Chain A
Amino acid sequence: MTPRPVLEVSDLTVRFRVGEKLITVVDHVAFELQSGEILCLVGESGAGKSTVAHALMRLIDPPGEIADGRALFAGRDLLALNEAEMQAVRGNHICMIFQDPMATLNPLKRIGEQISEGLRLHRGLSRAAAWQGAVKALRDVGIPAPELRARDYPHQLSGGMQQRAIIAAAVAMEPGLIIADEPTTALDATIQSQVLDLLIGLTRTLRTAVILVTHNMALVAEVADTIGVMYAGALVELGPKAAVLDQPRHPYTAALIGSIPRADEPERPFVAIPGMMPSVSALPAGCLFHPRCAQMVRPDCLQRPALTMVGQQHWSACHFAELEITR
Chain B
Amino acid sequence: MNITTRMASFPERPADGLLRSFRGAIGAQVGAVLVLLFALLALFAPTIAPQNPYDLSQVSLTDAFNPPAFAGGSWAFPLGTDEQGRDLLSAMLFGARTSIFVGLMGVLLSAGIGTFLGLVAGYAGGMRDSLIMRTADVVQSFPSILIALFIMYFSEPGVANVIVAIAAVEWVVYARTARTSTIAEREKGYVEAARSMGASTTRVVFRHLFPNILAPIVVIANVRFAWVIILEASLSFLGAGVPAEQPSLGRLILNGYQILFSGYWWISVLPGLALVILVLGANLFGDWLREAVNPRLGR
Contacts and interface: CB of A to CB of B under 8 A. Distances in A.
A233 interface: no
B200 interface: yes
Contacts of B199: 87, 91, 117, 121
A106 B197 contact: no
Contacts of A108: 211-212
Interface residues of B, number: 16
B200 A104 contact: no
Interface stretch (A92-100, A203-211, A244-252, A290-298): A92-100
Interface in B98-128: none
Interface string B199-214: 1100000001001100
B195 A118 contact: no
Interface stretch (B56-64, B141-149, B186-194, B229-237): B186-194
Contacts of B195: 59, 90
Given A103-B189, A104-B190, A90 B212 contact: no
A117 B200 CA distance: 12
B197 A103 contact: no
A191 interface: no
B193 A87 contact: no
B72 interface: no
B196 A106 contact: no
A88 interface: yes
A103 B196 contact: no
A57 interface: yes
A83 B248 CA distance: 51
A104 B212 contact: no
B193 A90 contact: no
Contact of B194 (A95, A100, A106, A156): A106
Contacts of A117: 194, 197, 199
Contacts of A57: 196
Contact of A98 (B192, B211, B212): B192
B21 to A, nearest CB: 19
Contacts of B295: none
B11 A90 contact: no
Contacts of B193: 96, 98, 104-106, 166
Interface in A157-205: 166, 169
Interface string A113-155: 0000110011000000000000000000000000000000001
A59 B212 contact: no
B189 A98 contact: yes
A53 to B, nearest CB: 10
B198 A118 contact: yes
A102 B11 CA distance: 15
Nearest to A86: B198
A277 interface: no
Interface in B1-45: 11
Given A59-B192, A98-B189, A98-B192, A106 B198 contact: no
Contacts of A90: 195-198
A166 B190 CA distance: 11
Contacts of B208: 106, 109
Contacts of A156: 11
A96 B212 CA distance: 22
B189 A118 contact: no
Interface of B: 11, 188-190, 192-200, 208, 211-212
Given A87-B200, A121-B197, A166-B193, 20 more contacts: A59-B192, A87-B199, A89-B198, A91-B196, A91-B198, A96-B193, A98-B189, A98-B192, A98-B193, A104-B192, A106-B194, A108-B211, A109-B208, A109-B211, A117-B194, A117-B197, A118-B197, A121-B199, A122-B198, A169-B197
13 contacts: A57-B196, A59-B192, A87-B198, A90-B198, A91-B199, A98-B192, A104-B189, A105-B193, A106-B194, A107-B190, A117-B194, A122-B198, A166-B193
